[in-house]
A and B are shown apart, each in its own frame.
Chain A
Amino acid sequence: MSPAVQTELERKRVRAHRRRQSKNWSLFLLFAGPNILLILAFIYYPLFSNMYYSTLDWRLGSSTATQIGLENYVAFFTSDSGLEVWRVTGIFTAGAVLGSMILGLLIALVLNKKIPGKTAARTAVFSPYVLSGVGVAMVWNFIFDPTRGGLSHILGFFGISSPEWYLNEDWSLFMVIIVYVWKNLGYCAVVFLAGLQSIPKDLIEAATIDRAGPIRRFVSVTLPLLTPTVFFLLVTNILFSMTNAFDILRTMTPTGHGTNTIIFEIYLQSFGAYQRAGYSAAIAVVLFFTLFFITAVQLRFVERKVHYS
C-alpha cells in the first residue's frame, strides 16, 4: 500500500473517530444537558453568588453595597453573638441526634418483638416524621402553653408548676429539642428496625444457648452488627438537625429566643430584624463548609470503625 493511500486511510479513520465522538457528545448533551443546566442554575449559581454576597456589607433589598472582604467572617467568629450561635447549635444538635437515636433504638427493639398491633404501632411511630414541621410546632405550642396548655394541666395535677418554656432561654431550647426529637424519632426507629431485622437470627440463638442474657446479647451481638445503621443515622441526623429544624424553631420561637441555631441565625440576620444580607450570606457559607467538613471526617475516619457483616 502506497504511503498516500495509507495517509488517506488514516485520515478517514480519524474523521470517523471524530464523528463518533461528536455523536457521543451530542447524545450526552441531549440527555444530560438539561439536568446539568438545572444543577448549574439552581445549585452552583446560587452557591457561588452567596459566596460573593458574603464579602459585602449589604442590607436586604438595597441596590448598593460595599465590598468588605472577609470582615463578615471575622465578625461571626469573633463576636459574642457568633459564639452564642455555635453554643446553641452544639447543644441542639447533640440533644436532637442523641435523643432521636436512643429513643428510636428503644422503640425499634420493642417493635422488633412479636407484639399485637405491630403494624399500627409502626405507622403511629413513623407518621410524625412525614408531618409538616409548622403543623407539628403549632400543635406543640398548644401543649407547652404555660397558662392553657395540656402539659401545664398534667403537671398541675401533680402539684408542679409549668416551666417558663417561652420566657426562659434554656427551657426554650429544651422545648424545641423535645419537639424535634418527637418528630424525628420515627425515622430513626424505622431505620433501626430494618437494621435489627437484617441481623441473622442464628447468632442471637447461639448467644442464647451460650446463656447470654438479653443485655449481653444486645451489647455483644446486636449492637456491633448495628454499627452500619448507627453510622448512617449519625451522619444523616447531624446533617438533618443542622439544616431541617428551621420550621419548628421559627414557628415556636419567632425571634430566636435562645434557639438561634446556625440555620435559624441565617434567617434572623437577613430576613429578621437586622436585615444584614451580606453577614447572613457569610454564615450560610460557614454552614456549608461545616457540613462538608463533618461529612468528610465521618466518611474518612468514623466509617473505618464500622462493622459490616
Chain B
Amino acid sequence: MKKLNSRTTTGVAALSIAVLALSACGPDTSGEEQEAGDGVDWAEVEPAEEIVFWSNHPGGSVDQEEELIAAFTEETGIEVTLENSGATYEETSQGFQTSQGTGATPDVVVLSDATWFPNYLNDSLLAVDEVLEAAEIETDGYVEALYEDYVYEDAHYGVPYARSTPIFYYNADHYEEAGIEAPPETWEEVGEISQQLMEAETANSAFSFPPQEEYPAWWMQNLIWGYGGSWSEEWDFSPVASEQTVEAIEFAQDATDDWASVSSGDPADDFGSGATSQIVQSTGSLGGILDTADFEVGVAFLPGGPESEGETPTGGAGLMISADSEPEEQLAAAMFIGFLTNTENTAMFSEATGYMPVQQDADMSAVYEETPQFEVAVDQLERARSQDNARVFLPGGDLELSQTLQEILTNDVDVAEEMESVQSSLEELYERDLASELE
C-alpha cells in the first residue's frame, strides 16, 4: 500500500478539522429528530429574579413599557431588562432568529402576526398554555379573535399585545364640501362617494391604495373576503386565483383607472396632509393622523362586499416566550406578559399608543370621551377575522402577494393571469420551504 506523505496527511487532517469546526458551529444536518425535553413540572419551578425583554416599542411605546416594567418589578421583585430590538417587527424577528443558540436570546420578545410563525417552525417559541396557567394568568379575558391568532396545532405561542386592525379613514371636511352625509358601508358605495369627491375636486386623489412596502395584502383581505375570495384556505392556495378573488382585485384595478390612486409611500402621510380624501389604514395610525391632520378625521367600519359584511383582518404584534430560556426564566416571563396585558395595563397601553385593548373588560371610557374615533375601531373587533395562511404563515407569501397587487394596481395587466401566477409562486414556496416540515 502506498504510504501517504506527511504533507498529504497534514492537509487531510487540517481539512477534516476545518470541516468539523465549520459543521460544529452550524445547524444540525444529521436528519435525526431533535430530542424533545421532558415536560416541565411547573409546580416545582420558582420564577427567575431577572429576565430580558426585546421590544421595538410598537407605536413609540418605550415610555409606557418602562413604566409598566417598573410597576412589575415593584409588584413581583423580578428585574426586567428592556432591550431595543430594532425599528420594526421584521428587524426584531431577524435579531431573534440570529440570536438562537448564541446564549444572547431574550426571554420575552415582541413578534408580529407575520413573523412569529417562522420562529415557531424553528422551535424557538414556547407553547404558553401551561406556563401561563402556572403563573396564574387568566386567558379567558383576552379578545378571542386576537388570542386565537397565536394558535397552531392546539397550542398558543403568544399573547396579544400591540394589536391593530385596519379601519376606513375619511376626511370629514372633504365629505362636507362634496355634500356627502355618511361614510360608505360597501365597496360599491366607496366608488360612488369617490366619484362625488372627484367632481368636487377636494384633493389630488379620492382614495389611495398602499404600495407594496405598506403591506397591501393585509387590509385588502377585507376587499377579497367581501367578494367571497381569499388568499388561501389553510394550505390550499387555489382561492387566490378564484373567480371571486379575481373579481375583487379587478374592482380595485378599475378603481385605479378611475377614482383611486396608489400612494408612493405611507398612505397615512398622504391622508394626513390632505392629499387624499380616503384610505384604509391601521388603527395604530389613528394617533399620528389625529396629530398631523388639520381637518376633522372620520373613521368607519371597513366596507363590505357582495358576499360579506366588512370583515376585518387582525394584525399587529404579540408577546412570545423563548423556548431557549430556562424554566425559571420562562415562568417569570409568563408572569411578565400576563402583567403587561392585564385589564388595567392594556387600557393604559391602548390609550397611549392607539393599539386595540386586548382585554375584553378594559375600561376605555376615558379614551372614548377624548377620541371618539377609537370607539369605532374597538367596536369593529366584532368583525375581526384571522388572516389567511398565505399571508402570515408562508415565508415570502406576503411579499409575493404585495408585489402582485402593486403590479396589478399600477399597470394594465390581466388580473386573472397575475393571480394564477402568484398562485404558482405560493405553491412553490410552500412545497420548497414548508411542506416537509408540516406534513
Contacts and interface: CB of A to CB of B under 8 A. Distances in A.
Nearest to B18: A48
A151 to B, nearest CB: 12
Contact of A62 (B121, B270, B273, B396): B121
Given A60-B97, A61-B124, A148-B273, A167 B28 contact: no
A276 B264 contact: no
Interface string B245-272: 0000000000000000011110001100
Contacts of A66: 29, 31
Given A48-B18, A63-B122, A65-B28, A167 B399 contact: no
Contacts of B119: 61
Interface string A247-288: 000000111010000000000000111111000000000000
A63 B34 contact: yes
A246 interface: no
A208 interface: no
A76 interface: no
Given A64-B28, A255-B212, A167 B100 contact: no
B97 A147 contact: no
B22 interface: yes
A58 interface: yes
B22 A271 contact: no
Given A59-B122, A167-B264, A255-B213, A273 B399 contact: yes
Q: Is the interface of A mostly helix, strand, loop or mixed?
A: loop
A65 B29 contact: yes
A243 to B, nearest CB: 21
Interface stretch (B140-148, B349-357, B402-410): B402-410
Contacts of B121: 59, 62
B395 interface: yes
A296 to B, nearest CB: 25
Contacts of A56: 26-27, 29
A168 B27 CA distance: 40
B97 A65 contact: no
B410 A168 contact: yes
Contacts of B403: 255, 257
A273 B101 CA distance: 22
A61 B96 contact: yes
A168 B119 CA distance: 33
Interface string A20-47: 0000000000000000000000000100
A146 B123 contact: no
B398 interface: yes
Given A66-B29, A66-B31, A275 B118 contact: yes
A45 B34 CA distance: 27
B83 interface: no
A274 B97 CA distance: 13
Interface string A89-128: 0000000000000000000000000000000000000000
B8 interface: no
A59 to B, nearest CB: 7
Interface string A143-155: 0011110000000
B395 A166 contact: no
A218 interface: no
A253 B269 CA distance: 18
A276 to B, nearest CB: 7
A276 B433 contact: yes
Given A53-B26, A65-B28, A59 B118 contact: yes
Interface in A159-200: 164-168
A59 B433 contact: yes
Interface residues of A, number: 36
B6 interface: no
Interface residues of B, number: 48
Interface in B121-160: 121-124
Contacts of A77: none
B264 A165 contact: yes
B122 A62 contact: yes
Contacts of B29: 56, 64-67
A6 interface: no
B204 interface: yes
B212 A49 contact: no
Interface string B363-402: 0000000000000000000000000000000011111001
Contact of B275 (A147, A166, A255): A147
A146 B261 CA distance: 12
A48 B22 contact: yes
A61 B406 contact: no
A92 B18 CA distance: 37
A129 interface: no
A45 B204 CA distance: 56
Interface in A56-86: 56, 58-67
A275 B264 CA distance: 26
Q: Which of A48, A65, A147, A276 has the most CB of B within 10 A?
A: A147
Contacts of B19: 52
A58 B211 contact: no
A207 to B, nearest CB: 52
Interface string B185-215: 0000000000000000000100000011100
Interface of B: 18-19, 21-23, 25-29, 31, 34, 90, 94, 96-98, 100-101, 118-119, 121-124, 204, 211-213, 262-265, 269-270, 273, 275, 395-399, 402-403, 406, 410, 429, 433
11 contacts: A48-B22, A56-B26, A58-B27, A61-B119, A146-B264, A147-B270, A165-B264, A167-B262, A167-B410, A254-B213, A257-B213
Given A61-B119, A167-B262, 6 more contacts: A49-B25, A58-B27, A61-B98, A65-B26, A65-B28, A274-B396
Interface of A: 45, 48-49, 52-53, 56, 58-67, 141, 145-148, 164-168, 253-255, 257, 271-276
Give me the 4 closest cross-chain CB pairs, A-B, nearest first: A61-B97, A65-B27, A273-B399, A274-B396
